[in-house]
Structure 1
Amino acid sequence: MLIIKDLTRRFGDRIALDSLSLEVPRGAFIGVIGRSGAGKSTFLRMVNRLAEPSSGQILFDGTDVTALRGRALRDWRARCAMVFQGFNLSGRLDVLTNVMMGRLNQVPAYRSLLQMWPEEDRAIALSALESLDIAELAAQRAENLSGGQQQRVAIARALVQSPEIILADEPIASLDPRNTKVVMDALARINRDYGITVLCNLHSLDIARSYCTRLVGLSAGRLVFDGAPDRLDEAAARALYGLEAAEVMESAAAAAPTRRQPQPLHA
C-alpha cells in the first residue's frame, strides 16, 4: 500500500501541495482531478521523487520513500514508473530502443551506451509493445509516430520497468478523442490484467469518471474530494472547479455514467 502523510511542497511563499494525506491500496485506478495549478503534477512528481517534499512522508509497504537515496532511489523510480504528457521519447531513436530505456536500471551503463541490450530484455520490450498492439512499429523512429502511438510507446517503456505503480501525468492532454480512448483503454487494461496500481492526472471529469474507480480532487494544493466517482456532487465540483463547476458537471453528465471497459487497441 502507498501511504501519503501530510505531504507538503513549497516554492518560496507559494504552497503547491498542502498537507496531503491519503492511502492507495494495491491495484487501484485513481484519477487525480482539479484545475491547472491545483497541485496534481507536483503530487505525482513527489511520489516518484522527481520533486522533493518540503515536509511529510511517502511510505510504500513500510518503506520510507522520502528517505531513499542513491541506488535505492533509482530502484524506487523503476518500481514507480512515470508516463508524461509530452511522451519524453527520443525522436531519432527507433521505438524498440526507446522502450529498452526502461531497462536502464537493470543493465550495466556501458551496455546501454553501446546499445548492447541482452536478448532477454529485447524480448521483454517486444512483449510490452505487443501487449499494446504496436509491435509492428518497433523499427520505426519515434518522431514518425502519431501522438497516440508515441504515448503507447511511453507506456510500454514504463511497463518494462516491471513497476508496481504507474504515475500518468496528464497522459491524454495533447491527444484527440480517438487517441484519448486508446491510451486510457491501455492504462485500464494494464491495471486490470497486471494488477498495477495507476494514479492518473486528468483534466476531464467525464474521462476520470468513466475509467477510474476512485477520484482524488485537489484545489490550491489541498485535498477537497476523495471517493467513488458517483459521489462527486455539485458541492464537491464547486470546491474543485469554482466558477467552471457547472460546465464541468454538465460535460460529465453527458458522458457514459458507467466505467468503460477497455476495448481492443488499434493503430
Structure 2
Amino acid sequence: MLVVEGLTCRFGAKAAVDDASFQIAPGGFVGVIGRSGAGKSTMLRMINRLATPTQGRILFDGLDVTALRGKELRQWRARSAMIFQQFNLVGRLDVLTNVLMGRLATMPAWRSLTQTWPEQDKALAMSALEQFDIASLAAQRADQLSGGQQQRVAIARALVQQPDIILADEPIASLDPRNTKIVMDALLRINKHFGITVLCNLHSLDLARSYCDRLIGMSAGRVVFDGAPAALTDLVARELYDLEANDVMGGTPAPAPEGVPALGTAAAA
C-alpha cells in the first residue's frame, strides 16, 4: 500500500504540490491527470525521492520513504522504478546494456564500475526484451532506435528492477499514436501479468479513461479529483483542464487497449 499524507513541495514561494493525500492499493493502474504545470511530475519525482518533499510523508507498506537515506534510498528507487518522457537511455550503449542498468542497485560497487554483469542478470534482461518483442535489437545502439522502441527498452529496464511500483512520467508524450498504443499496452500487460502497481502521469484524458482503473486529478498542485474514470464527468474534466480542455477532450479518440494480451505480442515499431 502506497500512502501519501499531506505531501507538499515548494520552490520558493510557489507550491508545485500542495498538501496532496491519497492511498493506492497494490496492483492498481492509476492515472494522474491535469493540465501542464499541475504538479504531476513533481508528485512522481517525490514518490521516487528524486525531488525532496517540503513537508508531508510517503509510506509504502509501513516504510517511511521520506526518511530514507544512503543505501536504503537507493534500494527504494529500485523498488519504485521510474519511466521518463525522454527515455533516459545511454545512446552510445547497446540495448542490452541499457536494460542491465536496471540491475545496478543489486550489484556490488566493483561490478557496477566495470559493468561485469552476472549471467543471471543477462538472462533476466534478455527475457524482458523478449516480452516486448525487441530481443533482436539487443546488440544495437540505443540511439539508433525509434522512439517507440526506445520507450520499450526503458520499460524493460524498469521491469528488470523487479519493482513493487512503476512510476511513469508522461511516457507517451513524444510518441505518435501507433507507438502510444504499443507503449500503453506494454504498461497494461506489466500491470495485469505481474501485478505491479502502475502510477502513470497522462495529459490525454481519453488515454487515461481507456487504460486506468482509477484517476487522480491535479490542479495547481492540489488533488481535486480521486475516483473511477466513469465518475469523471465532462464538466469536472473541463474544470480540471481549464483552457486546455478542448485539446485533451476533443479530436481523435484514444486507441482502445488490447485487453491483456500475452507478453511478447507487441507490434514492431
Question: Scaled by the length of structure 2, what TM-score is found?
Answer: 0.95
Alignment match, 1:97 = 97
Give the drift of 1:115.
Answer: 2.0
Superposed, 1:73-84 pairs within 5 Å as 73-84=73-84
Amino acid of the structure 1 residue aligned with 2:102: G
Task: Please tell me whether the aligned partners of residues 10 and 17 of structure 1 are also in contact (alpha carbons under 8 angstroms).
Answer: yes
Task: Please tell me whether the aligned partners of residues 185 and 257 of structure 2 are also in contact (alpha carbons under 8 angstroms).
Answer: no
Alignment match, 1:173 = 173
Give the drift of 1:255.
Answer: 4.6
Q: Does 1:266 align with 2:264?
A: no
Superposed, 1:1-150 pairs within 5 Å as 1-150=1-150
Query: Any idea what SS the aligned residue of 1:30 has?
Result: strand
Task: Please tell me whether the aligned partners of residues 31 and 199 of structure 1 are also in contact (alpha carbons under 8 angstroms).
Answer: yes
Amino acid of the structure 2 residue aligned with 1:197: T
Whole-angstrom CA distance in 2 between matches of 1:243 and 1:96: 43
Aligned residues: 265
Q: Runs of 5+ in structure 2 lacking a partner? A: none
Query: Any idea what SS the aligned residue of 2:125 has?
Result: helix
Question: Scaled by the length of structure 1, what TM-score is found?
Answer: 0.96
Deviations 1:65-103 (A, max 9, x none): 000111111100000000000100000000000000000
Task: Please tell me whether the aligned partners of residues 35 and 244 of structure 2 are also in contact (alpha carbons under 8 angstroms).
Answer: no
Whole-angstrom CA distance in 2 between matches of 1:11 and 1:247: 28
Amino acid of the structure 1 residue aligned with 2:87: F
Task: Please tell me whether the aligned partners of residues 4 and 57 of structure 1 are also in contact (alpha carbons under 8 angstroms).
Answer: yes
TM-align CA RMSD: 1.4
Amino acid of the structure 1 residue aligned with 2:266: L
Query: Any idea what SS the aligned residue of 1:7 has?
Result: strand
Alignment match, 1:195 = 195
Give the drift of 1:225.
Answer: 0.8
Structure 1 residue runs of 4 or more that deviate by more than 3 Å after TM superposition: 246-252
Query: Any idea what SS the aligned residue of 1:235 has?
Result: helix
Task: Please tell me whether the aligned partners of residues 124 and 160 of structure 1 are also in contact (alpha carbons under 8 angstroms).
Answer: yes
